[in-house]
Amino acid sequence: MGRHVGIVGVGQTHHARRRTDVSQAGLVREAVDRALADAKLSMEDIDTVVVATGPVLFAAVNQPEKWVVDAIGAQGKSVVRLTSGGGAGFAGALAGYYQVAGGFSERTLVVAYDKLSEGQLQYSISTLYDPFWGREFAVGIMGFSAAYWRARMDVLGHTEEAAAMVAAKNRKNAIANPYAHVKKEVSVQDVLNSKPLCWPIKLLDVPPISDGAAAIVLSSEKMAHHSTSRPAWIRGMAYCCEADNAPERSLMLSEPLAIASRQVYRAAGITNPRRQFDVVEVQEPYSCFELNYYESLGLCPPGQAAELMASGATQLDGDIPVNPSGGCMGANPIGAVGVIRLIEAATQVMGKNESHQIKDAKTALVQSGGGWANLRGCAVLSA
Ligand SMILES: CC(=O)SCCNC(=O)CCNC(=O)[C@H](O)C(C)(C)COP(=O)(O)OP(=O)(O)OC[C@H]1O[C@@H](n2cnc3c(N)ncnc32)[C@H](O)[C@@H]1OP(=O)(O)O
């Protein structure tokens, strides 16, 4: 068990389909300036920096950490860059967490971003598949997601409506989020009637493509009071992987997420996730994934996610609101999303969410993931 680590400062950009007003470096600086100001710190107070982005083709640049260092004034510091598909931001935060928990840094800045308008998203995702087993059949993320959703429909009897309810919930929540770029309320029927992209996936089941960045300052317990009297303490954090092409791989339950949640709940003392969390933020690239996460995170028994969704419990006014921020449906700058979800959860337990604060939120759950849906992680935050 390492040292306690808290999130003491957060900052995210305004996300948009195309942020033509800033370069990639400028986008990063926008988030970093906000996070440092929020933590009442300057770059001089930071020991180490983690830069996280999606795969190279997402924003079509190599080694962005080289010029990100210039843009944020981090020259001379320990800087590592990592990528882990859609979970890049979360993996970056985990790397920063290890640095502080292990005593190698008192304060670490984690900045995650993607400027997807400058890259080739779906082509890039197709290259994530195994060159021998999967590449020939890959059609970006949509082909896999459609097969995955179809399997759940066939085996569990989940309807298109169950996923449409997720999309309608998150799109409605995004309206209050000042950083989201898609803010339009839609009904379940609107989602069902929207343009088919790759059946059963329809236009309103998928997120937009976004440019955006997000940054957090992680601090040791010793230094945290300089920034805030109420940090968001990381009570547990894990990111696990399953074999990509294993024949026994399940499309019903996310095994790596189930493993990660068991580890994290043990560390955080969570025995009844359905009752102990006040708020949950998940990275739902497509609406159908959120249903799987309910089960893999133990918010409901396996196979009962559609019932949980229909009960209203995960709505903003339910007893376990999921994605009060609007999740990926409001904005999806992929490499940044893991950090965005952490920011949303942190501000909830710090009691300072600008626009969609859940009353008396004390304990929050965050889920994030990437790869070919085989890398999944979660974290528990509390005040
Ligand atoms: C871990 C992961 O995240 S994996 C990756 C998951 N993400 C994806 O797969 C991305 C899915 N989305 C897409 O591929 C695209 O958004 C598409 C195909 C649905 C639409 O693409 P296009 O028709 O080229 O639309 P384009 O991106 O130019 O956007 C046009 C407008 O529609 C909006 N828009 C695009 N997609 C959506 C959407 N899914 N929902 C609502 N609005 C949307 C854009 O914000 C933009 O509005 P603006 O100009 O006012 O900002």
For atom 37 of ligand 1, the residue with the nearest CA is 208
pLDDT at 144: 83
Average pLDDT, integer, range 47-70: 94
Sorted by sequence, the CB contacts under 8 Å of residue 97 that are 6+ apart come out as 5, 218, 234, 237
Q: pLDDT tens across 68-95, in order?
A: 999 999 999 999 999 998 999 999 999 9
pLDDT (tens digit per residue) in 349-360: 999 998 999 999
Q: Which atom of ligand 1 is nearest to the CA of 140?
A: 9
Whether residue 348 contacts residue 358, with contact meaning beta carbons closer than 8 Å, is answered with: yes
Q: What share of the chain is helix, strand, coil (3-state, %, to 5)?
A: 40, 20, 40
pLDDT reported for residue 88: 97
- Which residue has its alpha carbon closest to ligand 1 atom 20? 208
pLDDT tens, 290-318? 999 999 999 999 999 999 999 999 999 99
Q: Which of 48-52, 131-135, 255-259, 362-366 has the lowest mean pLDDT?
A: 131-135
CA of 207 to the centre of ligand 1 (A): 6
| SS3 label, residue 230 | coil
The whole-angstrom separation of Cα 59 and Cα 211 is 9
**In terms of C-beta density within 10 A (0-12 exposed, 13-18 middle, 19 or more buried), how is residue 31 classed?**
buried
Tell me how far CA of residue 321 lies from CA of 166, 279, 326, in angstroms: 12, 5, 11
Which residue has tokens 């059963």?
A: 200
Query: How far does the centroid of ligand 1 lie from the alpha carbon of residue 259, in Å?
Result: 32
Q: How far does Cα 55 stand from its chain's mean position? A: 16
What is the residue with the minimal CA distance to atom 16 of ligand 1?
208
Residues recorded for the chain: 383
**155-199 pLDDT, tens digit each:** 998 899 999 999 999 999 999 999 999 999 999 999 999 999 999
Least confident of 22-31, 136-145, 269-278: 136-145
Which residue out of 14, 15, 17, 288 has the highest number of ligand 1 atoms within 8 Å of its CB and is therefore the one to mutate? 17
Q: Which residues line ligand 1 (CB under 6 A)?
A: 17, 86, 141, 181-182, 203, 206-209, 285, 332, 334, 370
Quote the pLDDT of residue 354: 86
Atom of ligand 1 nearest to the CA of 87: 1
Confidence band for 246, pLDDT divided at 50, 70 and 90: confident
Q: Is 126 helix (H, G, I), strand (E, B) or coil?
A: helix
Report CA torsion sign: 127, 129, 130, 131.
Answer: negative
Closest atom of ligand 1 to 122 CA is 9
pLDDT at 372 over 80: no
> Ligand 1, residues 191, 194, 209: which to mutate, most atoms within 8 A of Cβ?
209
Q: Looking at ligand 1, which atom is closest to the CA of residue 142?
A: 9
CA of 209 to the centre of ligand 1 (A): 5
CB 93 within 8 A of CB 216: yes
ipTM, 2 dp: 0.95
State mean pLDDT over 195-224.
97
Lowest mean pLDDT, pick from 196-210, 232-246, 313-327: 232-246
Residue 234: other Cβ atoms inside 10 A: 27
The pLDDT score that the predictor gives to residue 132 is 82
Residue that wins the pLDDT comparison between 133 and 76:
76
User: Reduced to 3 states, what is the DSSP secondary structure of residue 317?
Assistant: coil
Which residue's CA is the closest to the ligand 1 atom numbered 12?
Answer: 208
Ligand 1 mean position, distance from CA 59 (Å): 16
Give the pLDDT confidence score for residue 364 in this predicted structure. 98
- Taking CA atoms only, the protein residue closest to ligand 1 atom 31 is 17
Q: Is the pLDDT of residue 136 over 80?
A: no
Average pLDDT over every residue of 112-117: 97
Which range has the worst mean pLDDT, 14-28, 101-115, 167-181, 242-256?
A: 242-256
* Percentage above 90 pLDDT, the chain: 86
| Domains of the chain and CATH, by start | 5-120+209-224 (3.40.47.10)
Tell me the residue type at 110. V
Region 221-235: mean pLDDT is: 98
Query: How sure is the predictor about 128, in pLDDT bands with cuts at 50, 70 and 90?
Result: confident
Which atom of ligand 1 is found nearest the CA of 337?
3
* Secondary structure (3-state) at 24: helix
Residue nearest to atom 28 of ligand 1 (CA): 17
Q: What is the pLDDT of residue 176?
A: 97
CA distance 246 to 239: 19
Minimum-distance ligand 1 atom for the alpha carbon of 207: 39
Atom of ligand 1 at shortest range from CA of 17: 51
Residue from 179, 182, 329 to probe ligand 1 pocket by mutation (most atoms less than 8 Å from CB): 182
